Structure 1
Amino acid sequence: MPLKTRPCWVEIRTRALEDNYRFLRNLAGLSVECLAIVKADAYGHGLGLCAPAAVRGGARWLGVTSVEEGAAARAACPDARVLVIGGVFPGQEPAVLEHGLTPVVWDLWQIDALEAAARGAGARGVKVHLEIDTGMSRQGVALEHLPEVLARLGAEPVLRVEAVMTHLYASDEANGDTTGEQLQRLEAAVKAVRGAGLEPDLLSVGATAALLGGTAEALLGGLAARWGMRPMVRIGLALYGLAPEFDPDFAAGEMPAELQSARGALVPVLEWKTRVVSVREIAAGAEVGYNGTFVATEPMRLALLAVGYADGLDRKLGNRFSLLVRGQRAPLVGRVSMDQAVVDVTDIPDVVPGDEVVILGAQGAERITAFNHAEAAGTIPWEVFTGIGVRVGRVEVR
């Protein structure tokens, strides 16, 4: 008999992910290649569930962080192209070839190591994507060092530059000034790439915010067309059902049609749930949780939940956030513990052990989003999703 597990789980609606991909693919346009981002265990949703769902939705490309994730994506999706966005660490080059992965490169040592591995395996024309640092100062070759990298890549056709890419680090800023400066640097880089005799097929520029912010045509069409390349867009947060917020957000009547459409069409893929463990009455003056940060001012009824900060429920949410019980908001009282939390159900009738509690998702007419969690905890939705602990089971719900 299977072991009954602690009641804290995540439900993944894979059909919603498929539909989200199709919607975004159509929004980008049929001439645009779309890279479905499934890195960081599919933003905490579960790579084993989400990568195949993206492929079923029509994705030909999957984006992962590491070679390890790439191997897992390859096992789940034998026919997909898998891009290792975070590059290759020393000693991982044979695994890149073994699993048919496409690495991003930007440093000479990466090129040397991959070329040596390819020669050892008798491989030629191994495809790589060259990343350009256009201002983020994080990953990618800086423009001043680009000539030596291009000289190395053009010296021997063991490696083939299939794509040039960059990361737009402020595409969620509505004014677009930073993005415009980045694109100018990118155009100079593409010119140098072509001048070195390299002929990449793809220009990978922009993520979800660029696509939905109304600048996709300029980012994905104009620049790529000028250099005879196909545009590629990286689809991340929106794939999982959330349209990004912009800073500042668009005023009424100024919202791009793409963003307005997405906010109405995208469906959240993940719901996070637990159950009531027990219910107790406390008297006025009783303290709740570690260090007594909550003191009852009147008799109360409390429900103990099987979820804590080790599961990903941010400790900062104690005394400042609510969860859903029987379709109503139940405030978290006291500090969130490692494995447990307590909510006030005084005004929610008939709560009993075993009742389902929604941490993130919908119940009745109420909904809690990753944006709600992020605002209360002072973070971003990406961290909310990826912070859900590995001990929280991911369950597929079609």
Structure 2
Amino acid sequence: MNNRNVSSPFTRPVWAEISRARLLHNFSMLQQLASPDIRLAAVVKANAYGHGATLCAPWLAAAGAEWLGVTSVEEGVAVRAVCATQRILVMSGLWQGEAEAVLEHCLTPVVWEPFHLDLLARAARQAKLPPQALPVHLEIDTGMSRQGAAHGGLLEELLRRLREEPDSPLLIEGVLTHFHSPDELDSPVTAAQIAAFATAVDTIAAAGLAPALLHAGNSTSLLTGHGLDALRALAARHHAQLMLRPGLALYGYTPQAGGSVSEREEQSPRLKAEGYGLQPAHSHSLRGGASALEGFQPVLSLKSRIVSLRTIAAGATAGYNGTFRAARSTRLALLPIGYADGLSRLLSGRGHVLVRGHRAPIAGRISMDQTILDVSGIPEAAIGDEAVLLGEQGNDRITAEDLAALCQTIPWEILTSIAARVPRVAVD
């Protein structure tokens, strides 16, 4: 991304640059992998993984995204305001008082609880919708134990209710599930989830319902192709369209990026404990070769500027609790960005920031609104210099994978933690 000054109404020198060109490049790569028989639901939940949903959703829509995935009805309403015609899938269900907004804004909810059906049917009848006029997608729990109807009691109850209400305004347009170990899509665990999903879909079909869409899988499914043959066969058997829901890869990252998973686990023991990426990064063969992985480009850069400089003597401390103590005369730079902006406090004394193309270590503890850098090794650093906390400068770059390894977490959390008070600025 460029290092130019960005013209915008904000004055505090903290901002995130969002590259339209890179987002569309990543989406195009996913489209190529999906072509010709798989639909994509471009996931823009959690403010487009921290990138700004009202920026990214219209760009994706203009590039041909037919479906956009959001978490909640509230997110769906916000995306609908900038995307008039796209299908918007509300992936985490609905709650009391939200069914009317689903109808008003033409959202498509994921359902699995009986009360979801009650809320929607009541609102649809009040709006005088004809039978099967309100499309919903039914989620099946195949092992995630988070949301969805497990095959058996709950699924049978939902199907019974639908059978007993032939004039129901609800239409089961889609059936979906969620893999709990998508990075191991060729594993026996995920194969068992696909088999459970197939059993549930067969049961739904036996009840006389014919969903037009079946969807499961994410970015990794497209990158590796593992599990797709079974999903394709299931969709073909039921004369349905297969759809996948890519998220992270849209924004330039894949679960295999940033070195092997074993290397990341060495840096971050918590990853393994949480079940993240237990297979080596290259245990999967990538469709289209290594370029299928290397071609994704990070879309977001997080930036600030040096607003103050000072030199402290050897032995002087900096930051809360004096955790940084100068071993020699040290030049410090102040950035007006802190953990309230989404810069994790876990980076205190560990992370780096790019200044004039060089890495400046974070000195001491990150404050709520400020961060101190040691720029002793960058004597030309000056007030007003751009500081890149996430992104590229010169010949170096800092990625969400890099920060995740230091924070013992995953890149999803790094990106979505960038606070709402940080302006998102469209570039290129």
TM-score over 0.5 (shorter chain): yes
Aligned to 2:178: 167
Give 1:150's aligned residue. Answer: 159
Between the aligned partners of 1:284 and 1:64, the Cα distance in structure 2 is: 52
Superposed CA offset, 1:309-329 (max 9, x none): 000000010111111010011
1:367-386 to 2 correspondences below 5 Å: 367-386=397-416
Is the 1:243–1:259 Cα contact (8 Å) retained in structure 2?
no
1:276 correspondence with 2:287: no
Give 1:380 shift. 1.0
Structure 1: gaps spanning 5 or more residues: none
2:136 aligned to which of 111, 124, 128: 128
Indicate which of 196, 199, 223 corresponds to 1:188.
199
Equivalent residue for 1:37, pick from 35, 38, 43: 43
Check whether the contact 1:303–1:342 (CA below 8 A) recurs between aligned residues: yes
Call closer, same or farther: CA 1:201–1:73 in 2, change over 3 Å: same
Q: Is the alpha carbon distance of 1:251 and 1:46 closer, same or farther for their aligned partners in structure 2, counting shifts above 3 Å?
A: closer
- Relative to the length of structure 2, the TM-score reads 0.90
**CA contact under 8 A between 2:312 and 2:330: conserved in structure 1?**
yes
Q: Where do residues 5-84 of structure 1 align in structure 2 (5 Å cutoff)?
A: 5-84=11-90
**Do structure 1's residue 263 and structure 2's residue 269 form an aligned pair?**
no
Q: Indicate if the aligned counterparts of 2:194 and 2:231 stay in contact, CA closer than 8 A.
A: no
| Structure 2 gap segments, 5+ residues each | 1-7, 257-276
Partner SS state of residue 235, structure 2? helix
Q: C-alpha separation between the residues in 1 aligned to 2:62 and 2:313?
A: 55
Provide the secondary structure at the position in 2 that maps to 1:243.
Answer: coil
1:175 positional shift: 5.2
Aligned residue number for residue 370 of structure 2? 340
* Distance in 2 (alpha carbons) for counterparts of 1:247 and 1:295: 39
* 8 Å CA contact retained: 1:85, 1:104: yes
- Alignment-mate amino acid for residue 213 of structure 2: L
Q: Identify the range of structure 1 (362-371 vs 256-265) with the bigger mean alpha-carbon deviation.
A: 256-265
> Which segments of structure 1 move beyond 3 Å, counting only runs of 4 or more?
none
Superposed displacement of residue 271, structure 1: 0.6
User: CA–CA distance in 1 between the matches of 2:10 and 2:49?
Assistant: 26
What SS does the aligned partner of 2:378 have?
A: coil
Alignment of 1:216-255 (within 5 A): 217-245=228-256, 246-251=277-282, 255=285
Q: What is the distance in 2 between the residues matched to 1:258 and 1:341?
A: 42
Name the residue aligned to 1:141.
149
- Root-mean-square deviation (CA), in Å? 1.5
- The match for 1:387 is 417
Identify the residue that residue 363 of structure 1 maps to in structure 2. Answer: 393
Q: Equivalents in 1 of 2:328, 2:408: separation in Å?
A: 30
Deviation string 1:260-297 (CA, Å, 9 cap, x unpaired) is: 23322211111110000111111110111100111111
User: Where does residue 273 of structure 2 map in the other structure?
Assistant: none
Aligned twin of 2:340: 310
1:83 Cα deviation after fit: 0.6
Query: Quick one: distance in 1 between partners of 2:232 and 2:124?
Result: 34
**Length-normalised TM-score, structure 1:** 0.96
Q: Which amino acid aligns with 1:152?
A: R
Output the CA distance in 1 between the equivalents of 2:250 and 2:162.
34
- Residues 362 and 372 in structure 2, CA contact (< 8 A), matched pair in contact too: yes
